[in-house]
Structure formats: C-alpha cells, structure tokens
Amino acid sequence: MEDAAQSVDEEISESPSEEGDPAPASEPLEEDPGLDELDAAAAPDAVLPYAKPQQSAQSSRVETCSEPDEEGRAACVQQVSADSIPQSATAMTADTARAGVAPPQWCEDSKGKVVGIRKAVCLVGGIDYTTKQRVNGVWRETGRAKLLYISYSYGDSGLGTIGHQIEVAAYDGWGDALNRGSVKGSASKGGACKVSESKFPKKPLMPKNSWRLGESFFDTTIHTAGTKGKCKSTWTLTFQAPGYSDALLPVSFNEFRCDNATAGRPEVGCVVPWYPSILWYSQSSYPDLASHVKRAQASGLPGGSFKRPLTRTTDAQIIRDNRQKACGDAPSIQGKSCDEYPIATSKQGLSAGGTRRTFSGCDLPNIPTGSGPKGASACMINASDNNAQGGLNTQFFRSERMLEGDPFQIRIS
C-alpha cells in the first residue's frame, strides 16, 4: 500500500502486480459538479469527460498589481469567476488561423473547473487586465481588457511527455490595456518533470476574439522501474502596455501522473489518475457476465457511474479475501464458475464489509437476495465468460495505467 504522506512530487516505489482491481478512495467522489450525468448506455468509443472531484468553482482572486512608476502608472491582473465569462464565448471558435492542438469540444464545459479524460484536462477561465495611474493620490483607470483563456494539457499512456498549451483572447475592453496591451508567456515546471520546449512570443491583444497561443512540453524524470510522480506545469502570462510595468499571472495544472509501475508495461506513460476510466463488458460477447454485472449494479452496488466508481487495489490479501468471501464455498457445476461483483481487484468487495447477495438463476440457493451499496454479489456464470473477464480486466488496467487507489467504472455495451 502507498504511504499517503509521501509527496506526490517525489518518486514512489510500488510493486507492479499482474493482478489487481480498483478500490474506493477514502472519501467518495463528489457528484459531478459541472457536467450532466452521462448516459450509462453510451458507446464504448464515446469521449466521456468528467469534472475533477472535490474541487471548488473558480472564484475571483486577489488582484496583483505592479509597483507604480515615477509617474504613478501601474498595471493589475487577476483571474475572475466563471460567472463573469460570457455564456457564448465567440473566442472559442474565432480565429481560424489558430495553431497548436485544437481543444476538444468538451473544453467548453470546463468554465471555472478542471474537466478531463484519462489523457487530457482542460480549464476555461477569465482574466481582467487593467492599466491605471495615480494622480494626487487618487487612482484613475486608464484601460481594461477582459480576456478568456483556455488551458489545455494532454499526455499519453505510452509516452513520458506532457503537452500544455494556453490560449488567450480578449473579447472586450477599452483604453491602454486593450488597445496598446500585449501578452507573452513562459513555462516552468514543478515535481518530477522538466521543460523540454516552450514558446509563447509577445503578441498584441487586439484584434478582439483572436487567440494568442503558448505551447510547452514537459518530459518526466520518472524512469526507475516501480516509481511514479506528478508533473506540475505552469504558464506565467506577462501582460504589457507601453509606459506601464508588467503584470504577471500564473496558470497551472498539476493533474498528470507519470509512472513506470504499471504491470505488463515496461515503458513510462502519463495519465490523469483521478479520471474513472470505463471498463466495458460486451453483452453480446459475454452475456452471462454482463447480466450479472447489470443486476449487481441495479441492486445498489457501486461501479456503474462517475459518481460511484470502484477503486483499484493491487493488495494480494484484499484480492484473496474478496474472492474467498464471495465465492469460496461455490458449488461445482459443469461449465460454470463463480463470479463476484464488485470485482476482486477493487476495494469495494467483501473485504470492505457488508454481506453477500445473489439473484434468480445464479445457482446459489444458500445465499439470499439483497440490495444496498455495501457487500458483494455472487453468481454462477458461464465459465468461458468468467475466464475471459480476467483478460479483459488485465488489458484494461494496463492500457489505462490503473495503479493502487485509482477509480474506474464497469459498464455494459
């Protein structure tokens, strides 16, 4: 088990286990604060973004101002709340000449909150940049620019490189800040990575609704087998106007974890660990398995949604306990074997408490039916379905780089 006190920015040793399922976090993931509940019947290839759990909506932050010069001129900048961002931001689709990686459509749902998938995260926010001058002890605003920014970061489960781009567009304003203002950026790192490339040249804020792009790439410093670490990527935006001091604003992500600790994958890769990826079981290919999972989830057991995911565990004792307590006394029936749900490689099995339940047609007459969020269900299913399940689970955990404590879902296609 991992030491919860260990800094996420340090390399952490972890034994890669070939077996494993998920386990729940110490606190349940809060309800998706920014997106509608997604259809449980969504296709396996659908992109299903999710708002990061346990985050607060972005609110107005303290304004940061430069020191006034000899003539009393200064500049200020601050992030503003999501409520102040235009509902229909023309900048999201403006400027067809934009470069970089086009942010996905679901970025539009990320106003004021981090939204992501397993390999990408996005945040749309607002910025106020103002110029002002102090005359006879009284401050007078000389200009204001209202801006939209899209911070988008992406990685790959088979690569040790993370991209982080930021786009800034002014959509309203007046005076020196808007008409004479410009923006540039510099990238910096925190944690287990290094900046390999960055570029955000100085560009004017005008014309309105045109993107100013910064691109950066970060290489992980995680290489030793069995280790992992997070990479914090930061863009520091510098707003300038002739005759005024610079105003600086940092925009950061600390969402990607890179590891060389995934069983069956000797290479390094980087993912968003809080995103509950979906493990799909095909109804047509594995009808007995799918039927059991559907009935188990319908009875109240977790794992079928973003709001109530399972949590992966690689703890061999927990896995054994989950299997033994659910299926240790299963009868011998030709062509069938005992299946447990939640799967044994999750922390939500019977090792976490609760009682067994079963369903009609499961050939376990000594186990009662039941309902509720705790416990586990057991059912005798087609042995070929059950045998295939192990391979499906293993491939899923490898492809998604699911480590101890990561959330995930199981759905039926």
Contacts 24+ apart (CB under 8 A), 195-204: 196/161, 200/166, 200/235, 202/240
H or E stretch at 356: strand 356-357
Contacts 24+ apart (CB under 8 A), 212-216: 212/167, 212/168, 212/169, 212/183, 213/98, 213/99, 213/100, 213/165, 213/166, 213/167, 214/165, 214/166, 214/167, 214/168, 214/185, 214/187, 215/99, 215/100, 215/163, 215/165, 216/163, 216/164, 216/165, 216/187
Asked whether the predicted pLDDT for residue 140 surpasses 50, the reply is yes
pLDDT digits (tens, 9 = 90+) for 9-48: 333 333 333 333 333 333 333 344 334 344 455 777 778 9
pLDDT at 42: 72
Average pLDDT of the chain? 87
Asked whether the predicted pLDDT for residue 273 surpasses 60, the reply is yes
Per-residue pLDDT averaged across 216-232, rounded?
97
- Lowest-confidence region among 36-45, 254-263, 395-404: 36-45
pLDDT digits (tens, 9 = 90+) for 370-379: 999 999 999 9
